[in-house]
Amino acid sequence: MKKERAGNKTASFAPMGATGHALLERAAGDFYATDPRAVDALEYAGKLPKNKKIWECAAGQGDLSEALIRRGYEVISTDLFDRGYCAGGTDFLQAKELLAPCIFTNPPYIHGTDFCTHAIELGADEVYMFVKLQFLEGKRRHRELYSKNPPAEILQFVGQMSAARNGDRSKFGKSAAIPFCWMIWRRGHRGKSQLSWISAEKGLITTNAA
């Protein structure tokens, strides 16, 4: 498996704060499974998708898909890779047809900008992307994404949220050095992005500040 040196400019997936001398193995296919508590936090904040039909286009092992299904959503799950949940072979970035009015996923970080842009261009009513907070950075990302299509909302987790490298679910709920947030695009949104805080701990957040 390819290794990269954490801290250099090519180590896109290196944990923030990691020593520049540590060697990290890049997750196969840039696969980091999402803790289902990320959906809990949306529910507690009243920020779940309004559309009941959802396309999870990088479904992995189905953690987000199953969390949504338990809440009554109809979820179409696809992935480029077969990780034992849905059949692989669907390249979202090559998709020409919108399979559901809401796209909801944790995109591979290396293709995150392209995933967001393509989801918007496909005409989704809602786009939910679980991303690192540092996804806000980047000249190219600002030029190609934010300046043209600013997210309607940025939902920052108060507590730490985990993403499990190579789908190791034992990592769920454990401390992580990387801050995550949800970014939400809504078709027709114009103007500034609203910042709010959310939590996977029920009752912790009682008000959301704009």
Which DSSP string do the residues of 98-137 spell out, in sequence order? --SSEEEE---GGGHHHHHHHHHHTT-SEEEEEEEGGGG-
**Does 189 map to a domain?**
yes
Range of weakest confidence among 10-19, 127-136, 144-153, 163-172:
10-19
**Are both 85 and 182 inside the same structural domain?**
yes
Angle in degrees, CA 156, 78, 129, rounded to 5: 15
**Are both 18 and 82 inside the same structural domain?**
no
- The total domain count for the chain is 2
Q: What is the CA radius of gyration of the chain?
A: 16
Least Cα distance to 130 among 176, 72, 96 occurs for 176
What's the chain's length in residues? Answer: 210
**Are both 98 and 9 inside the same structural domain?**
no
pLDDT value of position 11: 34
**Are both 190 and 104 inside the same structural domain?**
yes
**Does 168 map to a domain?**
yes
**Are both 3 and 94 inside the same structural domain?**
no
Cβ proximity of 57 and 46 under 8 Å: no
CATH number of the domain that 56 lies in? 3.40.50.150
**Does 52 map to a domain?**
yes
**Are both 120 and 16 inside the same structural domain?**
no
**Are both 14 and 87 inside the same structural domain?**
no
**Are both 15 and 73 inside the same structural domain?**
no
* Domain, as residue range, for 23: 1-29
Is residue 170 scored above 90 in pLDDT?
no
**Does 203 map to a domain?**
no
Quick one: tokens of 202?
């029920």
* pLDDT, tens digit (0-9, with 9 covering 90-100), for 47-102: 999 999 999 999 999 999 999 999 999 999 999 999 899 989 999 999 999 999 99
**Does 206 map to a domain?**
no
Quick one: tokens of 98?
């919108």
**Are both 126 and 72 inside the same structural domain?**
yes
Is residue 25 scored above 90 in pLDDT?
no
**Are both 19 and 92 inside the same structural domain?**
no
**Does 210 map to a domain?**
no
**Are both 92 and 36 inside the same structural domain?**
yes
